[in-house]
Amino acid sequence: MRKFKGLKKATAITCALSMVVAGLPMSSPVFAATDEQKAMVADATKNLALSKTTSLFPECAEGAQANLNDGKLKADVTGDAHCALSKKGWGYTGESYAVIDLGDYYDASTIEQVLVQYKDAAANDTCITRGYEIQFSSDNATWNTVASAGEDVTFDKDNCTVNDISTTGAVRYVRAYYPKTADYGIQITEIAVLDTNGDAKTVEVSHCENAAGVTVKSEDYNQITYNITAGENQADYKYMVYDDNVLVGNQVEAGKDYRIDGVSAGIHKLKVVSSYNGTTSEGIDSEEVTVKDASELYTSPRNIVNKNNNADVSITDISSYYSDEYAESAVNMIDGLLTAGEEKDVAFRTGKTSPQSFVIDLGREYKTAELDRFMIAYTNPRTYAKKYSIELSDDGAEYKEVASGDSLICGTDGVQPAYSNAVKLDKLSNYEAENVRYVKVTLSEGAVNYGYVINEIAIVANTDTPTYTTTVDIDAPADLKAESTKYGVIDYEIVAGEGQEDYEYNVYVDGKLAAEKVKAGKGQLTGVTDGTHNISVKTVKDGSLSKAVTKTVVVPLDIVEDGTNLVNENTKWTLNNESDNWSDNPCGTGTSIATGSVVAGGNWYSLMAHTTLVFEQGKVYTVKFTIKSNVKKQFLVATNTNGDKFLASSATATWTGNDEEGYTCDYSAEFEWTAATSKQNFIIALGQLTTEKDGDRGIKENDSIAAGDSINVSVTDISVVGKTKQVESS
């Protein structure tokens, strides 16, 4: 089925008078269908829509498109002979519509009524609570609403709406437009355009010129690309493109490539109709183009999870399966057969909950750059998953997502072959490893009372000869023990397997290498932030790695006790400034930082304490510091972790030195500070060029640092000590 982006309801524009359809876009009374009108539906002399060409959006999700105007009302057929406007798999709620090409231009004043019959009168598959519009057009581009009903729409006893039409002008296209689609589509049994008086008249209209030509090609499975060549003086023309009487491109431009996805396999020929100033052309046909079906990829050598192509592939780590009889049936997902059905000999059935996941062990290492798409086939619209996530790994422990979405559907119910979906691995750049061995598939949403029934999967390469390396399986360590009882520290113990006494191992935290080629036994990792982390260990042998053993560890916060000096013992000071003349050197207590010139335009120069300690919010701390510097004013402030917002500040530091220019002076300060958040940095500011921002701290114009000033600073006696006093809660 073809897919394209539908146009929103167009606003009528002024064009040649003979082509304008004039009408009132307001709600119209809906009448019960009389026996006489029902008879007209099957009469080609009274029903101008009977068996005419139709197009629709987004697609016919259930039933058949031909049912839209076959002249058969629901009472005249056996079963539900309808067409559901929606997307396969249901759940679509956007706009939808059905268009009937009357085949000729008619005087709109000779059309009296439009009848639409629905499969039933339920709110979940009709326009009830959503409303509709009946629209006329002369060019299938500019639409005029000639009748409508709002959210309070009602049907007659035969599930029909019948609208009187009173308008003028020329009309060729009639559209039943639905601004919102029901959960199970808009299920229409019949659309009839009625000339109840038997006086329908065709009118002569001028046609615009055809396009000069159109090229078509199919470079991918189930896809057509076309490009229209404009004729002479067609700079302002737009074009409509049809495939098998289905509108696949509306108001497109010449000279651009347009891609139609989801095209059925076989030979296709597109028709291009020009549209200009309310007129249309008679249309031209393209050359024939042959489209291949993506289902061929399941058996193609490009499918690296087909056991016929890759004898080493297997399904592992299944989250759950529906019952014991499906415990060994996962192999049916990789046998290369699209056989429909739900029995264990043709499909795998997951457990009843969402999400569900499994891992494909390729048994080999394939080149990441050669991977192209993921495919999955279902057999029942009630046992499929809508959402998907595809992740890759080279070790089976750390995964990176390379595709995700909610576009999976199942358009068949037990009909051969199983319904196939294909999705591009469009986030492949997220995965940095050169090779891939493990593919994790996670499925979610959809009805899961009976599990997800999966008939076939595929991981498709972009080449018929995928590159792979046969790997030698390396034994992983027997076990890993890990815990954290102190902020910033993880203690671990690698338990070697049998015969692994001399083996070496790599240790990872959240996928990043933390310790390389260590021996089995106890070890410690430091500098780890608080929170939940995954610690993994892999065996290293002959340049290859084993599958990882992973444990989850929670690193606690470190709330410092009263009386502890938070800064001197645990702080690394670095220079944070706006001058390129300064270097960014670490500094310890009492160490001279730097000497340099202040550049013009500079505003804020400071030393920053990068502390990983955690304060108790609302608690009061005592702050003391002494600075030696040739800068006249100093003060200490506490900021948030990013250093971009003042949370607390000291009073301006006390001037204790000589005022002589260039003399190194001592500044000392002591004040109480209340922790506003847990993690905090401290900044010691060295003044600034303007007084506006910090005038409230006592900064004066002559206290500022000026361009060209030479500065030198050292820090001594820094301490931040917790007090027992608590701030009253407001």
**Residue pLDDT, tens place only, 303-336:** 999 999 999 999 999 999 999 999 999 999 999 9
* Residues, the chain: 730
User: Average pLDDT in the 269-282 region?
Assistant: 90
Q: Where in the sequence of the chain do the CATH 2.60.120.260 domains occur?
A: 17-194, 296-470
Q: Please say whether the beta carbons of 134 and 147 come within 8 A.
A: yes
Q: What pairing do the DSSP bridges indicate for beta strands 400-405 and 356-367?
A: unpaired
Tell if the pTM clears 0.75, that is, is over it.
Answer: no
The answer to whether 597 touches 706, Cβ cutoff 8 Å, is no
Q: Reduced to 3 states, what is the DSSP secondary structure of residue 59?
A: strand
Pure H helices in 332-440: none
Task: Indicate the average pLDDT of the chain.
Answer: 79
Is residue 6's pLDDT more than 50?
no
CA neighbor of 449 nearest in space, from 322, 339, 362? 322
Question: Tell me, what's the pLDDT at 649?
Answer: 44
Query: What mean pLDDT comes out for the span 149-167?
Result: 92
Residue 299 pLDDT more than 70?
yes
Residue 505: per-residue pLDDT: 93
Average pLDDT over residues 150-165: 91
Q: How many of the other CB atoms lie within 10 Å of CB of 105?
A: 22
What lies within 8 Å, CB to CB, of 673 at 6+ separation is 620, 621, 622, 623, 638, 648, 650, 720
Which pair of tokens denotes residue 73? 């009302």
Is the pLDDT confidence value at 722 over 70? no
pLDDT at 255: 96
pLDDT of residue 245: 75
Provide the pLDDT for residue 575.
Answer: 45
The C-alpha angle 191, 195, 196, rounded to 5 degrees, equals 105
C-beta neighbour count of 78 within 10 angstroms:
5
Q: How far apart are CA 248 and CA 226, in angstroms?
A: 11
pLDDT at res. 161? 93
- Please tell me whether residue 527 adopts helix, strand or coil conformation: coil
The predicted structure's pLDDT at residue 656:
44
Per-residue pLDDT at 80: 66
Q: Within 13 A of 366's CA, how many CA atoms are on the CB side?
A: 28
Give the residue from 213, 218, 211 showing the smallest Cα distance to 260: 218
* Stretch(es) of the chain classified as CATH 2.60.40.10: 213-286, 479-555
Q: Tokens 């651009």 identify what position?
A: 256
pLDDT band at 87 (very low <50, low <70, confident <90, very high): confident
Give residues with Cβ within 8 angstroms of 99, minimum separation 6: 54, 55, 56, 140, 173, 174, 175, 247
647-660 per-position pLDDT tens digit: 444 434 444 444 44
When pLDDT is cut at 50, 70 and 90, the band that residue 259 belongs to is: very high
Residue 55 CA to residue 100 CA, distance in Å, equals 7
User: C-alpha 375: how far from its chain's center?
Assistant: 18
**CATH dotted code for 213-286:** 2.60.40.10
- The pLDDT value recorded for residue 639 is 52
pLDDT over 50 at 250, yes or no:
yes
Structure tokens at 240: 């409509």
What is the CATH architecture assignment of 17-194?
Sandwich (2.60)
Q: 326-346 burial string, b = 16+ CB within 10 Å, else e?
A: beebbebbbbbbbbbbbebeb
Residue carrying the six token digits 């004013």: 633
C-alpha span between 498 and 293 (Å, rounded): 51
Cα 420 to chain centroid distance, Å, stands at 21
> DSSP 3-state assignment of 17?
helix
Q: Name every residue whose Cβ is closer than 8 Å to that of residue 7 and which is 6 or more positions away in sequence.
A: 141, 250, 251
Write down the pLDDT at residue 712.
56
In this structure, how many other beta carbons lie within 10 angstroms of the beta carbon of residue 245? Answer: 12
User: Is the CATH number 2.170.150.20 carried by domain 296-470?
Assistant: no
- Out of 72-86, 162-176, 626-640, least confident range: 626-640
What residues form DSSP beta bridges with 524?
491
- Segment 586-593 shows an average pLDDT of 30
Which two three-digit tokens encode residue 297?
């990829």
Q: Can you tell me the distance from the alpha carbon of 385 to that of 349, in angstroms, rounded to the nearest whole number?
A: 11
Q: Is 397 exposed, middle or buried (0-12, 13-18, 19+ CB in 10 A)?
A: buried
Could you identify the residue written with the tokens 């036994």?
521
Q: Measured between alpha carbons, how far is 481 from 549 in angstroms, rounded to an integer?
A: 10
Instruction: Please compute the mean of the pLDDT values over residues 455-472 and round it to a whole number.
Output: 91
Rounded to whole angstroms, the Cα distance separating 353 from 321 reads 10
Q: How far is the C-alpha of 55 from the C-alpha of 37, rounded, in Å?
A: 24
Q: How far apart are the first and last CA of the chain?
A: 64
3-state secondary structure of 138: coil
Give the pLDDT mean for 137-155. Answer: 91
- For residues 716 and 43, the model is more confident at 43
Residue 691: pLDDT over 50: no
Q: How confident is the model at residue 262 (pLDDT cuts 50, 70, 90)?
A: confident
74 in helix, strand or coil? helix
Four-way CATH pick for 479-555: 2.60.40.10, 1.20.1270.360, 1.10.1040.10, 3.40.190.10: 2.60.40.10
pLDDT on residue 630: 56
Residue with tokens 């060029």: 689
Residue 4 vs residues 241, 408, 447: alpha-carbon distances, Å: 11, 17, 27
Regarding the domain delimited by 572-726, which CATH topology (the fold level of the hierarchy) does it fall under?
Jelly Rolls (2.60.120)
Decide if 98 contacts 175 (C-beta within 8 A): yes
CB-based contacts of 210: which residues, under 8 Å, 6+ apart?
231, 272, 274, 281, 282, 283, 284
Of the candidates 375, 68, 480, the residue with the CA atom closest to the CA atom of residue 246: 68
Q: How far is residue 86's CA from residue 97's CA, in Å, rounded to a whole number? A: 9
Is pLDDT at 632 greater than 70 in this prediction? no
Q: Are 164 and 112 in contact (CB under 8 A)?
A: yes
Q: Minimal CA–CA distance to 365: which of 473, 463, 442?
A: 473
DSSP strand pairing (681-685 vs 531-541): unpaired
d(CA 672, CA 654): 15
CB 370 within 8 A of CB 468: no
% of residues, the chain, pLDDT over 70? 71
Question: What pLDDT, on the 0 to 100 scale, is given for residue 697?
Answer: 39
What is the spatial distance between Cα 423 and Cα 406, in angstroms, rounded to a whole number? 10
Going along 599-728, which residue ranges are E strands? 606-610, 619-629, 635-639, 646-649, 654-655, 665-674, 681-685, 710-726
C-alpha to C-alpha distance for 487 and 675, rounded to whole angstroms:
19
Residue 122 has pLDDT above 80, yes or no: yes
* CA–CA distances in Å: residue 306 to residues 95, 210, 293, 297, 299: 40, 48, 17, 10, 7
What are residue 47's DSSP bridge partners? Answer: 194
pLDDT at 663 (0 to 100) = 36
Tens digit of pLDDT for each residue in 496-543?
988 888 899 999 888 778 898 999 999 999 888 778 888 989 898 876
Question: Which of the pair, 183 or 726, is modelled with greater confidence?
Answer: 183
Min mean pLDDT across 32-36, 174-178, 290-294, 509-513 is at 32-36
**30, pLDDT greater than 50:** no
